Structure 1
């Protein structure tokens, strides 16, 4: 069960941040890589509120092929508050990923992990709930700091909280803003970067996450036309 109040979530996050788990190592060359994305109605302003309608999509890809996909309509559990995103969409994301018929080897999502006030953002928390290695991909860090990398595809530069490296900037395409890679549950930074590199094509966003975003937004558009 996902916590439904901030105090309980904070306790869980602190426990997850202290957890010692064995790092995942890919068992095969061509991984089944999942992506999960949640979107809300157009025009939603501010932090939102509990009960906001949401559309969640999850996909599993191998190479350039979509093996499985699922879209669910649900509701937000809370307004958005920095560091407490799990209250808003954690349960919906878990239910959506669990609805997949084809399990992913590793999951990508739009959330942080160690770059977090308590060292356990949603990218790490969701992985722990699902028992899956996870990688967060965001447009910018939450708290960590670091200079952008060089402009070549695959170039990275560290992001630190104090002296601790908690993620990295990664250039997925030359000439465009880098993304932030957050190693989540049971995954180290080097493996997370390899996963992202293996599934990023001509677009800035890794393909499983891009497809999940497209499917979620398509479901929203279909609902707008009802």
Structure 2
């Protein structure tokens, strides 16, 4: 199958169905890992779903290296179709790093998706990189919150399938939703995100990418 970015919703839905069914070798972390993060943002103060052509800023971070690209939203925001809006921008930002990470964190879901192929999974397939999604809340999945101690996790499930986990990073803080995506499962997602968080709630690579994208937006007056 072609692993690119479809130009319309119908084509994206077909691609997502194919991606969800695609066989890929499971990835397991080993040794010291190069973990990258990517993030896209749009003009502040906007209401509604936005529109195709809205200004957009995307960034990727790997260690102390960050890369920022500017462009335009490919579509309005639509749950389940986020790849139309920002997929190509995120791909460009990650490629602009100049070095491939071992695993990529994305502010998007993976298997927690109507067709089990959210943006985090799609991005990994396009880049040929293992990916993990990290969001504040699930898209479709449900599950009881984990215990209060840091490192506690509990499964997120859709139709009987474990597609991710709630992960408590800090005591007293809301847990993160971490998502199995391209070549990763829920256990791997938990391990990668927990190792990347340190003492703060957001994984460091994703936090640096978010800061870089938002700083670029601020400089542009967006």
Q: Answer yes or no: same fold by TM over 0.5.
A: yes
Partner of 1:10: 13
Q: Aligned runs of 1:130-209 on 2, under 5 Å?
A: 130-209=127-206
**Cα distance in 2 for residues equivalent to 1:187 and 1:164:** 14
| Structure 2 Cα separation of the partners of residues 24 and 115 of structure 1 | 18
User: Which consecutive unaligned segments of at least 5 residues does structure 2 have?
Assistant: none
How far did 1:217 drift?
Answer: 0.7
Cα displacement (A) at 1:194 = 1.0
Provide the residue aligned with 2:36 in structure 1: 34
Shift of 1:102: 2.1
SS for the counterpart of 2:37 is: strand
| CA RMSD, Structure 1 to Structure 2 (Å) | 1.1
Aligned partners of 1:111 and 1:223: how far apart in 2?
25
Inter-partner Cα distance in structure 1 for 2:201 and 2:212 = 17
Conserved? CA contact 2:164–2:189, under 8 Å: no
1:46 corresponds in structure 2 to: 48
Contact 2:163 2:185 in 1 (8 A): no
* Other-structure match for 1:22: 25
Q: Please, what TM-score do these two structures have when normalized by structure 2?
A: 0.96
- Measure how far apart 1:30 and its partner are: 1.4
Alignment length, in residue pairs? 219
Q: What's the offset of the Cα at 1:78?
A: 0.4
Gaps of 5+ in 1: none
> Which portions of structure 1, spanning 4 or more consecutive aligned residues, are displaced by more than 6 angstroms?
none
Distance 1:152 1:26 in 2: 24
Residue 214 (structure 1) aligns with: 211
Structure 1 partner of 2:100: 103
- Calculate the TM-score normalised by the size of structure 1: 0.94
Distance 1:215 1:92 in 2: 14
| TM superposition shift of 1:193 | 1.1
